[in-house]
Amino acid sequence: MAGAVGARLGPAVGARMEAVARKRVLAGPDYLRLSVLLLVAAAVHGWLLAHTATTARDGLGFARHALNFQSPHQVATGHDPNRTVLTVLKEAQHPPAYPAAIWAVGKVVRNASSLPHPEAYLLAAQLVSAAAGVLLVVPVYLTGRMLFDRSVGFAAALLLQVLPTPARLTSDALTEGMYLLGLSVAVMLGVRAVRRPTVGGFLLCGMATGFTYLVRLEGLLVAVGVGATAVGLLAARRWPLDLTLGRLTALAVGVALVAGPYMVVIKGLTNKPTGQEMLNPSVNPRANLFHKAEACAVVAVPLFAEWREGDGSRVTWSVAAVASETVMALFYVPAALAVAGVVLLRRRVAADPGLWCLLILAGLSAMLLTAVGIKAGYVSERHTLLLVLIGCVFAAAALEPVAALLRNRVRAEWLLVGVALAALPATMKPLHANREGFKHAGRWMAENVTPADCVIDPFNWAEFYSGRSLYAVPPDPAEPTFRYAVVDDRTRPGEHGRLPRLDQAIDVMTNGNSRVVYHWPENVPEEQAKVKVYRLSVK
């Protein structure tokens, strides 16, 4: 009887059980590299947080979204007792994961600091993004190690932390930190699933993809890419049909488990105007893009993007814009290294389904961005992050082959150090230093502007910092006492042409009866000011 039990439990040597040691996922060298990466990531993000003049303008909308979770009854016109968190989810343009995290961290920041309400939630938004940006090193390192080796994993994770675009975006009050973290986890699990296929692996990849979708719609692209890789393996007769269908089903179930409830609430894939346009060309939700509303997020056009001008081919412009923005986001040299990596490692790429998966994802992302450029007329570096993530992996993998081509005149390690050091000066510049004046203007407005006054702020910052638009952008009073306009030193006809309400601000600024009541910097003459607040008496 004892022998039978022993036989069932495992192999025996003589009268003793033989214990089979469990294979370790990470070893000492991995922990050392991860520790260095985490220290570098924390230093970069900590520096940028400490040197932030103000957050990106889109961050105002995310902070507002979080505040709506906290107080859903607050609306632009006062108080609506029938408005619930479910209503907020249905109305908000953006998915809920990032605003929900801001809401949770914001409560801690409010209790631990004396910051005004607007600034506390903007700081919370930055902290969420930066924390995710630091944690990003783990899945990126593991992906590089899985596909190549420890050195490639280390180099890929380091590049993603020191290149200006990903480092600065993941330190700002933007979705990019959480999005990149979710994206990198989903990609890691997807690569693992196609290399070591199990139903559980595809299920986990689907769940990670679903979480990434709850940060940004584009997160669903990972499931499409992994699914396409699985179909490719089926077509290449490397996987049988029944197992492929089972794995694809597990992938879809994973996505549905996490993303499905939100899709049911909003009755679709997205509330964003651009996304709705792409999914339903017969609808044009951008027609009301510049109208004030009680939405949770500021509806505003991107300030920093490549816009289509002139009458040339939309397709040609969009392809060129996607390529240009991707090269800039990769900071030029890593972009060249990434291309070199694909070329120099082409035999390895052809043999490894995990590398197929990365290239398929890159192709899908490029096609999606091109389509958005054709439809919406702009492409931003923010949209290229999946390409940047994949580019960093291939750039890291190219270091050794490139060094070999140079006959080791330059070691791979020194190439990596050189690229990192070249990027750091641009990376470590203060965030939005040229927008700091709007924060000070908002603080002045909080003490001097009444709810009965009309505020025209095309840039949105001052109005938010004043507390007027914490929960929603308020409508203009029917009969205001004063009309205030917030402008910068570039505000003139023809500048900032895509900003909503700019013409109204210029009208107040150029009215002979208006006068400057606040300017920043406060210690310079008015004509040298970067930001001005004009007041016009209406009555």
- What is the pLDDT at residue 10? 46
- What is the pLDDT at residue 13? 45
Residues 6+ apart with CB under 8 A from 120: 106, 109, 110, 113
Question: Across residues 449-453, what is the average pLDDT?
Answer: 94
Residue of 138, 73, 132, 82 lying closest to 102 (CA atoms): 132
User: 293 lies in a domain?
Assistant: no
In this structure, the answer to whether residues 179 and 209 fall within a common structural domain is yes
How many other C-beta atoms are found inside a 10 Å radius of the C-beta of residue 196?
A: 11
- Kindly tell me if the per-residue pLDDT of 239 is higher than 90: yes
Domain that holds residue 392: 30-71+129-287+317-427
SS (H, E, C) 458-492: CCCHHHHHCCCCCCCCCCCCCCCCEEEEEEECCCC
| CA distances in angstroms from 210 to 32, 432, 447, listed in the order given | 32, 32, 44
Last-in-domain residue among 412, 427, 442: 427
User: 254 lies in a domain?
Assistant: yes
Burial class (CB in 10 A: 0-12, 13-18, 19+), 450: exposed
Burial class (CB in 10 A: 0-12, 13-18, 19+), 389: buried
- Kindly tell me if the per-residue pLDDT of 240 is higher than 80: yes
- What is the pLDDT at residue 3? 46
In this structure, the answer to whether residues 198 and 267 fall within a common structural domain is yes
DSSP 52: B
In this structure, the answer to whether residues 266 and 353 fall within a common structural domain is yes
In this structure, the answer to whether residues 422 and 529 fall within a common structural domain is no
- What is the pLDDT at residue 78? 75
User: 309 lies in a domain?
Assistant: no
Q: Grade residue 530 by pLDDT with cuts at 50, 70 and 90.
A: very high
The Cα 364–Cα 231 span in angstroms is: 15
- What is the pLDDT at residue 494? 58
Last-in-domain residue among 378, 394, 427: 427
Number of domains in the chain: 2
The Cα 33–Cα 522 span in angstroms is: 48
Q: Grade residue 282 by pLDDT with cuts at 50, 70 and 90.
A: low
- What is the pLDDT at residue 294? 34
In this structure, the answer to whether residues 418 and 445 fall within a common structural domain is no
pLDDT in tens, 68-89: 999 998 877 677 888 999 999 9
- What is the pLDDT at residue 521? 96
Residues 6+ apart with CB under 8 A from 225: 190, 357, 360, 361, 364
DSSP 519: E
pLDDT in tens, 201-235: 999 999 999 999 999 999 999 999 999 999 999 99
- Give the pairing of strands 515-520 and 482-488: unpaired
Question: Across residues 256-273, what is the average pLDDT?
Answer: 93
Burial class (CB in 10 A: 0-12, 13-18, 19+), 494: exposed
- What is the pLDDT at residue 41? 99
Element (H, E) at 402: helix 385-405
pLDDT in tens, 345-394: 999 999 999 999 999 999 999 999 999 888 888 888 999 999 999 999 99
Q: Tell me the CB-side half-sphere exposure of residue 132, using CA atoms within 13 A.
A: 32
Last-in-domain residue among 404, 427, 450: 427
- What is the pLDDT at residue 244? 98
User: 53 lies in a domain?
Assistant: yes
In this structure, the answer to whether residues 207 and 323 fall within a common structural domain is yes
> SS3 of 504, please?
helix
Question: Across residues 147-174, what is the average pLDDT?
Answer: 98
The C-alpha torsion from 282 through 283 and 286 to 292, rounded to 10°, is 160
Cβ pair 33, 154 in contact under 8 A: yes
- Kindly tell me if the per-residue pLDDT of 496 is higher than 70: no
In this structure, the answer to whether residues 225 and 371 fall within a common structural domain is yes
DSSP codes joined into one string, 231-272: HHHHHTTSS-HHHHHHHHHHHHHHHHHHHHHHHHHHTSS---
In this structure, the answer to whether residues 256 and 188 fall within a common structural domain is yes
Residues 6+ apart with CB under 8 A from 128: 98, 101, 102, 105, 177, 178
The Cα 183–Cα 447 span in angstroms is: 43
What percentage of the chain reaches a pLDDT higher than 90?
A: 77
- What is the pLDDT at residue 11? 44
User: 156 lies in a domain?
Assistant: yes
pLDDT in tens, 514-525: 999 999 999 999
What rounded mean pLDDT belongs to the chain?
A: 89
In this structure, the answer to whether residues 473 and 532 fall within a common structural domain is yes
- What is the pLDDT at residue 286? 45
Query: CA triplet 51, 182, 36: central angle to 5 degrees?
Result: 55
- Kindly tell me if the per-residue pLDDT of 409 is higher than 70: yes
- What is the pLDDT at residue 313? 80
Q: Which residue has the higher pLDDT, 124 or 282?
A: 124
Question: Across residues 191-205, what is the average pLDDT?
Answer: 98
Q: Which residue has the higher pLDDT, 456 or 408?
A: 456
- Kindly tell me if the per-residue pLDDT of 311 is higher than 50: yes
Highest mean pLDDT among 110-119, 158-167, 285-294, 490-499: 158-167
Residue 301 sits at φ, ψ, to 5 deg, of: -80, 155
- What is the pLDDT at residue 302? 47
User: 103 lies in a domain?
Assistant: no
- Amino acid at residue number 24: R
| CA distances in angstroms from 27 to 31, 150, 276, 298, listed in the order given | 6, 11, 47, 47
In this structure, the answer to whether residues 164 and 274 fall within a common structural domain is yes
- Kindly tell me if the per-residue pLDDT of 297 is higher than 80: no
User: 166 lies in a domain?
Assistant: yes
In this structure, the answer to whether residues 53 and 188 fall within a common structural domain is yes
b/e map of 33-72 (b: 16 or more CB within 10 Å)?
A: bbeebbebbbebbebbbeebebbbbbbbbbbbbbbbbbeb
Cβ pair 69, 88 in contact under 8 A: yes
- Kindly tell me if the per-residue pLDDT of 17 is higher than 80: no
Question: Across residues 459-488, what is the average pLDDT?
Answer: 94
User: 164 lies in a domain?
Assistant: yes
Question: Across residues 495-517, what is the average pLDDT?
Answer: 87
In this structure, the answer to whether residues 266 and 210 fall within a common structural domain is yes
- Kindly tell me if the per-residue pLDDT of 295 is higher than 80: no
